[in-house]
Structure 1
């Protein structure tokens, strides 16, 4: 049994895509190992692909944050998380989780995603047209990467797209480790109040969208507002960062752009694996669990490093190379088990459409700053870029 370790955080300079180098060393030595938490708790760190999958698939591990210890210190956070409000199913265990998830799964149907696919194509073309008109340089985050997923999740839910800046600002605050607990609470309250009003509006006058559909279930106003909160937050931030960071990764590996065009489906899976923007999670053992030759005791927190699991050479040969011809199925970027990302098909549609279309329209697209100078979002739950200044040649 190796001595306890603390959570590595430093990402290598000049390699914005690579996880902390120390994670790979820890994983190669011992894919499940004791971890010392900032509050003194001794739990575990899972870095191997197989160990992470085993934890995520095992119902003896809980997602409830009020039971967990967190691997990184947080500003103004004394270690006590309140129980999760009803409807926040991402932090609920079965059977509560099962009930919410069951109501939603049928609404993220293949049919609805297909209909959305045509809409994603329209929206993508509209934003490329606008870039071309205003060109020949822009910030790709605000001109392209953010608005497309924002518009899609707003339309799907029935939230007013005019309020997207409000949503984006608050979503950024929730995911920011530097934000004080006070600022996060204010943000939560503002966003919560807005969504509560939206739920009441949908009950009074239902329209053809997911939130209106859900008003016909037995969910309370509070549950509906919290479900909307999760879906909006997840749908706004994640795909936007995948599109922006994915573009930066392609600038850095220009030989891969042709492969993106040749097989967008395969390319998107590899970008998801390689970038692992939702990089870390936690689970808590509800009972003693024997795993990988170790005994995880009831009450111990396991930190799962999705970014380390996605770079595990035991699962993906030559894992630190971006290879869009790779068959990256089995990556952990949408999680695994009962909490696997509900919106993953929507995210895939958005990336499969938007990324190839961007390089198709602007074959000479390139960053106007060196990749190492692109301002990253690093001290956050979802990795990404703050700005991505680009230019292209006008024919």
Structure 2
């Protein structure tokens, strides 16, 4: 009798006990054994799992690889993500030329020059949040008291979203990116957020301000370039990504530094150039976009000696690529003085993260300010009791109890 073919190993986000900053061993081990191999996803579908840094760069820059999440074989991360594929369509799930046409509407708001102009305002927000932490006293949850409100306040001001609504949009965002959310819960949360932002866009038509939503409103009604729904979905992407990613980098990066006191001291006391380098290393080492870049081949592609057929799903495992020893010496060690600029935390190619300049300046200001203001900062419970976000599309910690 002929034996049935063995299914590819299951894709997993489970990390080894005591190693919350390292990629899952079952996945990272493929880098040395099968750098391009098949994995089985949550719904039984399969995808090519690409681990090498060079192969990922080649694929993410190849026009034969599609980011369009409407394609039948697109490798969604969960049932909720699958259910909201079409509903959450934005420029990051578009291909050229549509991707560039949509993305360029926002590039001016996220240039290095524009984000540098926000520096003083970000510093004031940081100072106010740290004042609040000191006033409330030790202990505290760093996520709710500092890491989450900082980028939320910044992105709210940039977009023109009232920060007093943060409870609503943070809860909705959490449901959307939770891989455990049911299809209906994810759809409901996404629709609530799109409806909310659509209403805001319409209000901006009547009462415009100096913010991004006001410009979207002008596109929506005045020029007719976009519809209300399109504007709301683009704003949804910027709002969710603008606070979830940086918030988790602040909290998770602080947690990692607390495990490395010498490097923490260097970030606390270092000059801006050294701090900037430390941020790049933390982005590489932690890779909070731990579910990788999801794509579909639209034509046959050969990469790394492996043929990927048209229509096949691809996952570029950025967390594993950021530990590739061919690019980073001793990659499993946190070293804030290494040159980590080749990391793929922000992706590569035309879909490289639009908000990376804003994220960098927030992180470069947040880490040293926090560590200088609270020099005795420490975890308030053992590392093994910290709840890490293996169940979310953005890795990090659900809470980070600290004392000082």
Pick the TM interval, shorter chain. Answer: over 0.9
Q: 2:39 aligns with which of 35, 40, 56?
A: 35
Q: 2:163 aligns with which of 158, 161, 169?
A: 161
Alpha-carbon distance between aligned partners in 2 of 1:366 and 1:199, rounded to the nearest angstrom:
43
Aligned CA RMSD, in angstroms, stands at 1.9
269-278 or 202-211: bigger deviation = 202-211
C-alpha offsets along residues 144-190 of structure 1, whole Å, 9 cap, x if unaligned? 00000000000000000000111110111111011111111111111
SS in 2 for 1:183: helix
SS in 1 for 2:186: helix
Aligned residue in 1 for 2:249: 242
Aligned residue in 2 for 1:89: 91
Shift, 1:72, TM fit: 7.6
Alpha-carbon distance between aligned partners in 2 of 1:85 and 1:42, rounded to the nearest angstrom:
23
Where in structure 1 are there 5+ consecutive unaligned residues? none
Alpha-carbon distance between aligned partners in 2 of 1:370 and 1:310, rounded to the nearest angstrom:
27
Q: 2:263 aligns with which of 256, 268, 278?
A: 256
Aligned residue in 2 for 1:388: 400
Q: 2:350 aligns with which of 338, 352, 358?
A: 338
C-alpha offsets along residues 230-278 of structure 1, whole Å, 9 cap, x if unaligned? 0001011110000001110011111111221311100000000011001
1:326 maps to 2:338: yes
1:115 maps to 2:122: no
> In 2, are the aligned partners of 1:66 and 1:84 still within 8 Å (CA)?
no
> In 2, are the aligned partners of 1:7 and 1:71 still within 8 Å (CA)?
no
SS in 2 for 1:103: coil
Alpha-carbon distance between aligned partners in 1 of 2:108 and 2:324, rounded to the nearest angstrom:
33
Shift, 1:68, TM fit: 5.3
SS in 1 for 2:70: helix
Aligned residue in 1 for 2:222: none
The 3 A distance-change label for structure 1 pair 85 and 320 is closer
Aligned residue in 2 for 1:130: 132
> In 2, are the aligned partners of 1:278 and 1:381 still within 8 Å (CA)?
yes
Q: 1:11 aligns with which of 10, 15, 21?
A: 15
Alpha-carbon distance between aligned partners in 2 of 1:47 and 1:227, rounded to the nearest angstrom:
30
SS in 2 for 1:65: coil
Shift, 1:123, TM fit: 0.3
The 3 A distance-change label for structure 1 pair 260 and 90 is same
> In 2, are the aligned partners of 1:31 and 1:51 still within 8 Å (CA)?
no
Alpha-carbon distance between aligned partners in 1 of 2:122 and 2:76, rounded to the nearest angstrom:
37
Where in structure 2 are there 5+ consecutive unaligned residues? 1-5, 220-224
TM-score by length of 2: 0.92
1:377 maps to 2:377: no
> In 1, are the aligned partners of 2:197 and 2:235 still within 8 Å (CA)?
yes
Shift, 1:207, TM fit: 0.2
Shift, 1:55, TM fit: 1.1
Q: 2:61 aligns with which of 57, 74, 81?
A: 57
Shift, 1:31, TM fit: 1.7
The 3 A distance-change label for structure 1 pair 136 and 34 is closer
Aligned residue in 2 for 1:268: 279
Q: 1:45 aligns with which of 39, 43, 49?
A: 49
C-alpha offsets along residues 36-78 of structure 1, whole Å, 9 cap, x if unaligned? 445454431101111111111111111111225466873478x
SS in 2 for 1:384: coil
